[in-house]
Structure 1
Amino acid sequence: MWTKILPVTALIASVSLTTGTAYAAPTTPVGGEALGSRGLVAPEGVKKPPKSKATSYVIADADTGQVLAAKDPHGRYLPASTLKALTALTLIPKLDKDRKVRPSHNACNQEGSAVGLSPKVTYKIDDLFKGLMMSSGNDTAMALAEANGSLTQTMRDMNTEAKRLQANDTVAKTPSGLDKPGQSSSAYDLALIARAGLANPDFKRYISTKTAKFPAPKGYYEISNHNKLLWRYDGMVGVKNGWTSKARASFVGAATRGGHTIVVTIMRHEGFFWEEVSDLLDWGFSVRGKAAPVGRLVDPLPASALAAPQQQASAPAASVTPAAQPPLMERAARKQDDSTRTVGSVVIGGGLLFGLIWLGYGIRRRRARSRS
């Protein structure tokens, strides 16, 4: 059983503007009904999780996928540099780590945190991933995106990977996590991404490395991991922290003790969070196997489930009927958060009504002119 569960929003009926048929948005959140709460969801029979100033968090058992406790787990927020975990997870299988690349001036001049790339130096892909996950280099994020073919291709790949993981709250607009309109993730999605990353040996190596030598125009210099808990918390494996003025602080952390791994993700924290994350991890280890889970981290979708939409997208334009295209209402809803979705429905519905009236008015005017 769990406690402090807020009501889950009811089904919202909408009308497809392309087909005219009614459809209903699914209400059961990914991972279980209780995870639809915007408040704290915690198990009964054990001590409550420690207090946290984070607006949203998830504590999960990475081995079993059980969500042990959560607060607004599916709330969509700006992810900041925690999105780099998705960048790494997406690109590690696609790029040969021994391949050498020379970054563009565009990559080297990215704003925000940087590892210090130079267009005069040739880097191994392996070095770029270290700069990405250890030093949170926005320059390395762009260099890796370009090495993958293009920024456009990389964003397509990252969003496809998010869908494969069923991280449906996640919309990637940048490979670095720099704020951009429409970009979002959730504490639940970040836990899914972290769990998948931990199963990749290279991903795990990058996030757990404390210090490393990084190529420079003349020799090397040392970089260190921004995750302070690698030095402070017993068993810390790593993952990623992030911060922007709009996103505030976010963090994804995983630690292993006694052969078991706990993942903690937090979003929109106002300040110093290291002690809070340590307490949340301690709580996770203390209740693991002793309390009923409040939800679960779902498994990735099979490849066949992702192949069908791609085949539809590559089909000739003449063979695509309006019914096969996503409803306009659904496309608009993807760009809205919980606080604007109702308003968006009213605006779209009102716009449709106005358009039909204006169309009728125009037809009458043309008929009147033809008669004169």
Structure 2
Amino acid sequence: MGIKHLAPVGVLLAATTFLGAPAQARTAGVSTIGSPAGPRGADLLNDLGGWPSGTGSLGPHARGEREPVGGSRLGERGLIVPPGVKAPPKTAAKAYVIADAETGAVLAAKDAHGRYLPASTLKALTALTLIPKLDKKRKIRPSARAVNEEGSAVGLVTKPLYTVDDLFKALMLVSGNDCAMALAEANGGLAATLADMNAEAKRLQAFDTVAKTPSGLDKPGQSSSAYDLALIARAGLANADFRRYISTKTDKFPAPKGYYEIGNHNKLLWRYKGMIGVKNGWTSKALGSFVGAAKRNGHTIIVSIMRHDGYFWEEVADLLDWGFANRGRATPVGQLVDPIPEPTPLPAPPTASAPPAVPTPGSGRNPAAAARPADEGVPIGYYVLGAGLLGGLVWLVYGLRRRFR
């Protein structure tokens, strides 16, 4: 038929190829939008919890640095005092934090993020983690392991005499290591409880804290900081049961024959005006540690200390006095951060798909056209195809006329 008669076929092939292009472009567009390297890549990582909150769009890890939680000054090892105010009273503690519980303002600190053995102050995290998970009225029969836990104990026996509520009281009043283990067993075991405690620490942004025991007994790798203890105490104060346990001075505890009285080990509950409580601790390796809160004139101050080698009660009272005297007028040196908010649940998928539309009799509309979105219109490919066919027809007629001439 000659080369000139192949032109219509070329036009048709070109039109067909052109029609396939939009679908490929749309497919490629989907993968590009979904890539983290796209224009919303950093925002998408933040939405998915890829970076710590409050550290910018990429966070310190992405920038190759690690900012101290609560402010850059809290990374300093020495004493940090606001300008224009007298320094807090001296203390033998290697680290401490004085903070306003309401605003979260850190008023003064020393080695706030230094990691130390927490001793029994870690029980504050144990209680904060397990109180929401365990029914207070549930009866517990401690195991032989719990009953024989070393260190301070309330004196459990392997009988179902105790409620969860009883165990929490003894945990926080007399620092019962046996109660810590019994509560861990009630929560599904030691491994599950430690996983829950460490998850709770991360939720609070207490990143210096690693729990290896529910009691605070020394174990390699276990740690906390004065800053983290203040975070944990602040979160605990918002829980009514936690607050009730730490502020109880004396109570009755079940025994095989009746009850016996237990008293709170926090000496400031008996001595310091407005003392709410929280937790003290001591081991030969950790030395003395304490975290507590007191309320005066409608304001609450938190003080935490770590690694004190002597009698610290009077020093803690002096630090609390300094906090009440300077709250509201001292420029904060840092901030107790808020817990990481719970992720927003995704919307539930529809339970059933809508039935297909049925054309109305006599409507005269093509069902396929009715199903197409109103703004889609006629695809441009159809116009191109029509133009190609028309051009090919004209070319064919022109060629035939020349041949017959």
Q: TM (normalized to structure 1)?
A: 0.75
Percent of aligned pairs with the same amino acid: 76
Secondary structure of 1:43's counterpart equals coil
| Distance (whole Å) between structure 1 residues aligned to residue 145 and residue 66 of structure 2 | 42
Give the counterpart letter for 1:172 in structure 2.
A
Structure 2 partner of 1:135? 174
Cα pair 1:121 1:216 within 8 Å, conserved: no
Structure 1 partner of 2:271? 232
Cα pair 2:253 2:262 within 8 Å, conserved: yes
Tell me whether 1:105 sits opposite 2:158 in the alignment. Answer: no
Structure 1 partner of 2:92? 53
Describe how 1:61-76 pairs up with structure 2 within 5 A. Answer: 61-76=100-115
Cα pair 1:114 1:136 within 8 Å, conserved: yes
Q: TM (normalized to structure 2)?
A: 0.69
1:27 Cα deviation from its structure 2 partner: 2.8
Secondary structure of 1:214's counterpart equals strand
Give the counterpart letter for 1:274 in structure 2.
W
| Distance (whole Å) between structure 1 residues aligned to residue 125 and residue 66 of structure 2 | 26
Tell me whether 1:289 sits opposite 2:332 in the alignment. Answer: no
The more displaced of 22-31 and 81-90 is: 22-31
| Distance (whole Å) between structure 2 residues aligned to residue 25 and residue 116 of structure 1 | 50
Cα pair 2:95 2:307 within 8 Å, conserved: yes
Counterpart selection for 1:169 from 198, 202, 208: 208
Greater fraction of residues in strand: 1
| Distance (whole Å) between structure 2 residues aligned to residue 274 and residue 69 of structure 1 | 18
Structure 2 partner of 1:214? 253
Summarize deviations over 1:258-302 as a string: whole Å, max 9, x none: 010000000000010000000000000000001100000000001
1:28 Cα deviation from its structure 2 partner: 1.4
1:122 Cα deviation from its structure 2 partner: 2.1
Cα pair 1:83 1:176 within 8 Å, conserved: yes
| Distance (whole Å) between structure 1 residues aligned to residue 166 and residue 273 of structure 2 | 27
Tell me whether 1:265 sits opposite 2:295 in the alignment. Answer: no
1:25 Cα deviation from its structure 2 partner: 4.8
Tell me whether 1:88 sits opposite 2:121 in the alignment. Answer: no
Structure 1 partner of 2:157? 118
Runs of 4+ aligned structure 1 residues displaced above 6 Å come to none
1:45 Cα deviation from its structure 2 partner: 1.3
| Distance (whole Å) between structure 2 residues aligned to residue 180 and residue 303 of structure 1 | 31
- Pair 287,152 (structure 1): closer, same or farther in 2 beyond 3 Å: same
Counterpart selection for 1:301 from 328, 340, 354: 340
Summarize deviations over 1:230-256 as a string: whole Å, max 9, x none: 000000000000000000000001000
| Distance (whole Å) between structure 1 residues aligned to residue 138 and residue 63 of structure 2 | 48
Give the counterpart letter for 1:250 in structure 2.
S
Cα pair 2:288 2:308 within 8 Å, conserved: yes
RMSD: 1.4
Cα pair 1:264 1:277 within 8 Å, conserved: yes
Describe how 1:23-62 pairs up with structure 2 within 5 A. Answer: 25-62=64-101
Tell me whether 1:243 sits opposite 2:282 in the alignment. Answer: yes
| Distance (whole Å) between structure 2 residues aligned to residue 260 and residue 25 of structure 1 | 39
Cα pair 2:161 2:255 within 8 Å, conserved: no
Secondary structure of 1:112's counterpart equals coil
Structure 1 partner of 2:218? 179
Unaligned runs of 5+ in 2: 1-60, 347-405
Summarize deviations over 1:163-219 as a string: whole Å, max 9, x none: 000000000000000000000000000000000000000000000000000000110
- Pair 207,25 (structure 1): closer, same or farther in 2 beyond 3 Å: farther
| Distance (whole Å) between structure 1 residues aligned to residue 65 and residue 288 of structure 2 | 30
| Distance (whole Å) between structure 1 residues aligned to residue 276 and residue 64 of structure 2 | 38
1:47 Cα deviation from its structure 2 partner: 1.4
Secondary structure of 1:184's counterpart equals coil
Cα pair 1:121 1:217 within 8 Å, conserved: no
Structure index of larger Rg: 2
1:24 Cα deviation from its structure 2 partner: 6.1
1:46 Cα deviation from its structure 2 partner: 1.4
1:54 Cα deviation from its structure 2 partner: 0.2
Q: How many pairs were matched up?
A: 286
Cα pair 1:249 1:270 within 8 Å, conserved: yes
